[in-house]
Structure 1
Amino acid sequence: MEKVKLALCQMNVIDSKEKNLKKANSMINNAVGENVDFIVLPEMFICPYSNEKFIEYAEEEKESSTLLKISQLACKNNVYILAGSIPEKDGSKLFNTSYLFDKNGEIIAKHRKMHLFDIDVKGKITFMESDVLTAGDDFTVTDTEFGKVGIGICYDIRFPELARIMAQQGALILFYPGAFNMTTGPAHWELLFKSRALDNQVYCVGVAPALNKDSSYHSFGHSIITNPWGDVITEASEKESLIISEIDLSEIKKIREELPLLKNKREDLYEIIKK
């Protein structure tokens, strides 16, 4: 299948797991009504973006009511669902973890955020995910009926080595559920998605929570799809919205033939190695 119809669920995430799940359910059902193939939820779609809430809302994978609900929705509607991310509890550790469900409701990929968001932009924003979260160590590329896809989370997109490794492993679409803020979002969000798509001649998809001014963390929103030429196919505003867009994977082969960046790498001089 070369054409894939995507649904980007830019939810307004609030301080209620029950209401957030209800909203996710509603947006998924609306997306199914548009005959989509692949639905994507935002980073931390069940809880506000704060270290305290990560602890409060954390779920163990095998006992997760959230994952069970998304699994049921994927199976019932015969659709792929990327469950943005949730705070995953594993023993004494917490991870920011994304789960990909296939059409049977089975988990076919799991990505733990590799690069934790520890920043201090003087006078604007300070956030230290590492105060409560543990970084993941695994690259995440998996097969779907559309071809291979890769998964990163938010801050992961700032590291081009990760995107290149996923592309080298055959990923045609790179998904980055994310929650850039009102400082980094306007400056870098669109630029990063265009860059990673262009660098690797793949599609890049970012899905964020909508801007909630009542929350302590203000998400930039602007869920986005960029194509292998580096163009923006679609981009939301900061408001809650469901974005439906079809991509054509045959464009990847066409562009790579016209502009053979990956073939022209000087691997006699340099290479990126996955250890």
Structure 2
Amino acid sequence: MRVAVCQLNAREDRAANLAQARQLLVRAADQGADFAVLPEYTDYLGPSAHRPEPVDGEFGTFFAEAARELGMWVHAGSFHERGPDDRHSYNTSLVFDRSGEIAATYRKIHLYDVEIPGKVSYHESATVAPGSEVVTVKVEGATIGLSICYDLRFPELYRKLTDAGADILVVPAAFMLHTGRDHWEVLLRARAIEGQSYVLAAGQVGNHEPNRTCFGRSMIINPWGTVLAQAPDTVTVAVADIDRHSLEQIRAELPSLAHRRL
């Protein structure tokens, strides 16, 4: 299976973001991708007057049509889904099969609340409600485990995904520059090595309102922890091939998953 991670610079202009995402999906399809992943909050980043919408709203319809027209599995990153009350949305991933049908829905479990004086102040829980369900989905014979951005810092989630049979872990993100420089690749490679799984990490890149910068460096990592493909610091697509035999060989020769005692 050929996979692609799409690196986006979403801003407040929702229509422009979706158009850019569609262009990246076309580029992925042109390179033979079977499965393409977009970043967290593909719909928009930053303060906005846009209202959260249901799963079958305009956002879902847009990417269902893209998957169907391109004949490709599409992980639409995440979007602002209508939440449990008027003050909170969900941060939600949708996965579409080649026919444009929704194959999986995942709502971000871990919410990013941080207060670093003089550097960053962000409280995701003020406007976003957490999900609670651990989600996997079958794609072209592989089992894919779903997560979003800040989830990356909680290895217990990825252990549950591995226990559920995941051999590919997906991480759409909008990682901030100041943490991404030191933690992004380290955490992604750790999740790949611990779970002996491929990791597909699609990140936002560049500036967005209000005065924040996303790190980018979207990448595809194999179960040994080797980076197979990495995006440069621009809007682009990175592509690599998933080798099922290689995954099985690594798990057989270093059977750490089978040696677990806890």
Question: Shorter chain as normaliser: what TM range?
Answer: over 0.9
Distance 2:209 2:92 in 1: 25
- String of CA shifts for 1:94-152, please: whole Å, max 9, x gaps: 10000000111111111100000111234322210001000000001111223211100
- Equivalent residue letter for 2:157: L
Distance 2:153 2:50 in 1: 28
Q: 1:36 aligns with which of 33, 36, 42?
A: 33
Aligned length: 260
Residue 152 (structure 2) pairs with residue 160 (structure 1): no
* TM-score (norm. length: structure 1): 0.90
Q: 2:55 aligns with which of 57, 61, 65?
A: 61
Q: 2:116 aligns with which of 112, 121, 128?
A: 121
* TM-score (norm. length: structure 2): 0.95
- State the match for 2:83 in structure 1: 90
Q: Structure 2: which 5+ runs fail to align?
A: none
Query: Percent identity over the alignment?
Result: 34
Residue 218 (structure 2) pairs with residue 223 (structure 1): yes
- Equivalent residue letter for 2:53: E
- Equivalent residue letter for 1:181: M
- Residue 67 of structure 1 deviates from its aligned partner by 1.0
Q: Is the 8 A contact 2:205 2:216 kept in 1?
A: yes
Please state whether the residue corresponding to 2:42 is helix, strand or coil: coil
Residue 190 (structure 2) pairs with residue 201 (structure 1): no
Distance 2:122 2:244 in 1: 37
- Residue 247 of structure 1 deviates from its aligned partner by 2.1
- Residue 31 of structure 1 deviates from its aligned partner by 1.5
- String of CA shifts for 1:51-103, please: whole Å, max 9, x gaps: x33x63422223x2111010011112211000000010135241000000011
Residue 249 (structure 2) pairs with residue 251 (structure 1): no
Please state whether the residue corresponding to 1:56 is helix, strand or coil: coil
Distance 1:26 1:235 in 2: 19
Q: Structure 1: which 5+ runs fail to align?
A: 271-275
Distance 2:126 2:194 in 1: 32
Residue 141 (structure 2) pairs with residue 146 (structure 1): yes
Please state whether the residue corresponding to 2:158 is helix, strand or coil: helix
Q: Is the 8 A contact 2:5 2:36 kept in 1?
A: yes
Please state whether the residue corresponding to 2:260 is helix, strand or coil: coil
Q: 1:7 aligns with which of 1, 4, 12?
A: 4
Q: Is the 8 A contact 2:175 2:204 kept in 1?
A: no
Distance 1:232 1:225 in 2: 6
- State the match for 1:273 in structure 2: none
Please state whether the residue corresponding to 1:60 is helix, strand or coil: coil
Q: Is the 8 A contact 2:201 2:218 kept in 1?
A: yes
- Equivalent residue letter for 2:54: E
Q: Is the 8 A contact 1:81 1:102 kept in 2?
A: yes
- Equivalent residue letter for 2:83: D
Q: Is the 8 A contact 1:86 1:97 kept in 2?
A: yes
Residue 14 (structure 2) pairs with residue 17 (structure 1): yes
CA RMSD of aligned residues (A): 1.5
- String of CA shifts for 1:180-199, please: whole Å, max 9, x gaps: 10111011000000000000
